[in-house]
Amino acid sequence: MRSKDGALKNSQDGSGTVLALAAVALAISLFSLSQVVAYNLIAQRRLQATVDAMAIGATDALRGLNTGYPCPTAGEIGLIKGVELDTCRIVGFEVFISAHSKGVGIVLSASALAGPSS
């Protein structure tokens, strides 16, 4: 194909710009996806630590080491950390806690069992 001045024109002019823009868009998308995954992994670790603390607090209340009832104590600890208590089961001197919180796009859940060592 010829341009107005008579020189041959390449049909692929500008394709490098489109390719560069596509590469930048892909890099931004991959970075964003990795940040969402990293955030959810960190949130899951924090949730597990909170549920562990809830179970220990409930066990301490059950054994009389602190005041209050076991399950409401676990619920209060979760409330402070933004975690919703799902299940609180007491068997003997052991307490099983299950809770959840919201991550980015998913619901994270964790459980813990605490009691005196045998």
Domain ranges in the chain are 41-114
Is residue 70 very low, low, confident or very high in pLDDT (cuts 50, 70, 90)? very high
What separation in angstroms does the CA of 30 have from each of 25, 27, 70, 101, 106? 9, 5, 44, 25, 19
To the question of domain 41-114 being in CATH 3.30.1300, the answer is yes
**Residues 9-64: pLDDT tens digits?**
667 777 888 899 999 999 999 999 999 999 999 999 999 999 999 999 999 999 99
pLDDT of 1 over the 60 cut: no
For residue 66, list its beta bridge partners: none
Do 116 and 92 contact (CB within 8 A), yes or no?
no
**Residues 77-118: pLDDT tens digits?**
999 999 999 999 999 999 999 999 998 889 999 999 999 874
